[in-house]
Structure 1
């Protein structure tokens, strides 16, 4: 049952990527409108906000890193096969702002001649479920709030035109380093024998 949409309206929403390179934080900041009934309603109910993030192919969230959310009383659960992350947050009567930080990593992209690929993270969903504190039933009332914000992540990738040059340089570097190690070992081995004599 979807109710109380007016009580849990948002006055501010920001959905952005923070950080650099392949390790980022997807930060969602939400501020409630502070409806006159908000404090009274939340005092009489157990309310929980559930933020659902939909991660496209090429981006994942490490379940071990998400353990840091538990310390902030945010409970994440990840289903990596469908790239969905849920974050559950208790809503208190003095909660005016909710900030969710989700650690993300980019996967190695395919080679591309443009040096970058753009991945769009779809808009999240926000559900709020509430149950009266004095009720013995487990029935919740649900509120859904549209978080219509997309985020684009430009991820650097290798240029397919450079494949041959990179392969040759890597191969020659490997041979040089291997020869250097062998010659260095032989030199120190001879030096050690001469000292023993």
Structure 2
């Protein structure tokens, strides 16, 4: 009886190991396939913004879901375009840093792009998708003013755009920036961007700071958007899909946060200030009533 039970347990363990190894192999194959796609193929979207197409199907930003979304947007037609001989030599984030002070900072990014052939290219727009970490947001109205000043050709914010929510009640947001490029940009291959960002109210932390980390942006080279044509698809070359952490140097922002150990002192001081204020208002009301009664007595 014991030997039969032992055999069944061993058989069950063998089956579980076989299933796990099969699933891991499938996952590894899918990951390699996706990497091959991102290095060789293009996507086709029907909307002006890439993230607009994503958020019509999803309610929040998730990195793995966004990656799967891009895989589903592969161009079905394999007909070569007039720019089929354009091959990206380099798509490199040369420099990336956070500048400024306080809760208002600027994310600086320098991008270098070079191509083998660039004459009469239909890909006239570089699209940068910044997936912001939790606790940081971009003001849509501020970005619109930058667009009016021709800093960007187009820009929009997707995801959680409620600027008043604290960090622990908000979701991630993403900024999609469009920059028009010309033959001169193809030759020089360097584009510099400055994205203004703001910090949300951070949760309590014993260190007094809450650290957020910025990953690399997603880079696409897209054809011009054809307005008033709903079924017209826009072709985009996938230059790079940003990772959660930069390979060369991670970009951090240490945002001030309340210290958990100070909550008791702050609560006690707030309660004392509220009681003192209420008592002062009561005394002032009583004194004003006495003054009014004295004036009425003298007049009578």
Give the Å deviation of 1:184: 3.2
CA shift digits 1:86-111 (9 cap, x unpaired): 11111123345433232322222221
Query: Aligned residue for 1:23?
Result: 104
* Greater fraction helix: 2
* Stretch moving more, 177-186 or 108-117: 177-186
What is the SS of the residue equivalent to 2:203? coil
Q: Any idea what SS the aligned residue of 2:133 has?
A: coil
Q: Deviations over 1:32-53 (max 9, x none)?
A: 55x6855xx3x54351011111
Larger radius of gyration between Structure 1 and Structure 2: 2
The structure, 1 or 2, with the larger RCO (C-alpha pairs under 8 Å, 6+ apart) is: 1
1:62 aligns with 2:135: no
- Bigger CA drift: 91-100 or 186-195? 186-195
1:188 CA drift (Å): 4.5
TM-score by length of 2: 0.52
- 1:113 CA drift (Å): 1.2
Question: Which of 264, 270, 281 in structure 2 is aligned with 1:164?
Answer: 264
Normalized per residue, the structure richer in strand is: 1
Deviation, structure 1 residue 165: 1.0
Shift of 1:118: 1.2
What is the number of residues matched between the two proteins? Answer: 186
Choose the corresponding residue for 2:218, options 125, 129, 154. 125
2:154 pairs, out of 67, 74, 90, with 74
* C-alpha RMSD of matched pairs (Å): 3.0
Secondary structure of the 1:66 match is helix
TM-score norm. by structure 1 comes to: 0.75
Partner of 2:184: 94
Could you tell me how far apart the structure 2 residues matched to 1:18 and 1:185 are? 51
Q: Is the 8 A contact 1:48 1:91 kept in 2?
A: yes
How far apart, in 2, do the equivalents of 1:193 and 1:94 lie? 84
State the Cα distance separating 1:195 from its structure 2 match.
5.4
Structure 1 unmatched ranges of 5 or more? 132-136
SS at 1:68 equivalent? helix
